[in-house]
Amino acid sequence: MSEINIIMDIVQPLLGEYKMATFTRTNGDTQPVFALDTSNGKIAPATATAGTPVNPQGPKLDFFSLTANTTVAGEQGVSEYVGEVLRAVQQKATVAAYQVDATQISLAVNPAGAYANAAALLTTANVTYTGIQLDSSADVGFKLATA
């Protein structure tokens, strides 16, 4: 038996069980928008989050898609179409995330409600650019893949 084990056999009965410090949580549960530092108590556990996106590291986001008349995937360089659209959108909201797939640009923007609806976003985002225009937009919400 090693010297450390012998010492632990002597000391452990004197100290009792080793336990981590714990505290009772009063806020910071899994609600759609986290309130980690509040003094107004916890949110009722009955408030369901099923089917609701939760973004614990940041603000609530709105999700939109924009569809162009032609592919924009090759237009992501400096001062090209996608950058111009993003700059236009950021006149009223911050683009938190975006994805470009062929003719579609998907956006996550904050603050929520900066654009009243998809039509308002389309009006702002439809920048002048040779040969490309945005034909439609949609308020797509956010859904994680199920497969």
Domain ranges of the chain: 62-139
Answer for the pair 69, 133: CB distance below 8 angstroms, yes or no. Answer: yes
Which of the listed CATH numbers 2.40.10, 3.30.1760, 1.10.3210, 3.30.70 matches domain 62-139? 3.30.70
Q: pLDDT tens across 65-75, in order?
A: 999 999 998 88
Q: Hey, how many other C-beta atoms are within 10 angstroms of the C-beta on 28?
A: 14
pLDDT at residue 108 greater than cutoff 70: yes
The Cα 47–Cα 49 span in angstroms is: 7
Task: Give the helix/strand (H/E) hosting 107.
Answer: strand 104-110
Burial 90-115 (b: 16+ CB within 10 A, else e): eeebebeebebeebbbbbbbbeeebb
For residue 132, what pLDDT band results from cuts at 50, 70 and 90? very high
Residue 15: what pLDDT? 65
Mean pLDDT for 118-131 is: 92
**Cis bond before residue 111 (omega within 30° of 0):** yes
Residue 136: what pLDDT? 93
List residues bridging with 134 in a β-sheet: 68
pLDDT at residue 86 greater than cutoff 80: yes
Residue 5: what pLDDT? 72
CA-wise closest residue to 119 among 105, 102, 139, 99:
139
